Amino acid sequence: MSSVEASADVSASSDIGKGSKIWHLAQVREGARLGENCIIGRGAYIGPGVQLGNNCKVQNYALVYEPAVLGEGVFIGQAVVLTNDVFPRAINADGTVKTEDDWDKVGVTIKEGAAIGARAVCIAPVIIGAWATIAAGAVVTRDVPEFALVAGVPAKRIGWVGKAGLPHEDSGSWVCPHAGNRYEEHDGGLRQLVD
């Protein structure tokens, strides 16, 4: 059974998974699908048709615009924005007000276990790889490889992280301080070394 605070605005056509919690003043729009055990924080916005896998956490005042797709166990920090319009305008070139039919929505895709830090902005269309970490305040303008640690404006890779979220140590090869596994960079990503 899910739990929805009375002040939340949850569309009757959304699908909320068992064990999910939606806090004060959050809005979940029509056709949105939340997996099991998701947490939607105070004032967060989940757009029409957005999809969240199981065990996702969307912190307070985050804005997840359609057609975003979040994999299992994705973390969205406070006030994060996932955009959906490459060339935003309020009006068309002829001065008429834009409507839903005047633009094509593009989404942000976030793979399993990835974490997006507070106030980061992901400019669609981008794909955030599994278990990647986006630093607080970063502006992501291009795809992020799995296990990458990115920061800055625009975001650039500054290291690698493991599934526990801890930065890998650079000692000739990359070492996960949690599991002790060693990796090398290969084709823009990481490949585990066998001892």
Q: Domain limits at 134?
A: 3-163
Would residue 13 count as lying in a domain? yes
| Predicted confidence (pLDDT) per residue in 9-56, tens digit | 999 999 999 999 999 999 999 999 999 999 999 999 999 999 999 999
Q: What is the DSSP string of 50-72?
A: -EE-TT-EE-TT-EE-TT-EE-T
| 171 domain-assigned | no
- What is the domain-level CATH number for residue 126? 2.160.10.10
Q: Is the pTM of this model over 0.75?
A: yes
Sequence-distant (≥ 6) Cβ neighbours of residue 193 within 8 angstroms: 173, 181, 182, 183, 184
Number of domains comprising the chain: 1
| Residue 76 main-chain phi, psi, to 5 deg | -115, 115
Decide if 190 is inside a domain: no
> In this structure, is residue 113 part of a structural domain?
yes
Residue 91 lies in a domain: yes
- Residue 180 falls inside a structural domain: no
Q: What is the mean pLDDT of the chain?
A: 94
For residue 54, being part of any structural domain is answered with yes
Q: Is residue 182 part of a domain?
A: no
Which of 189, 192, 190 lies closest to 180 in space, CA to CA?
192
Q: How confident is the model at residue 186 (pLDDT cuts 50, 70, 90)?
A: confident
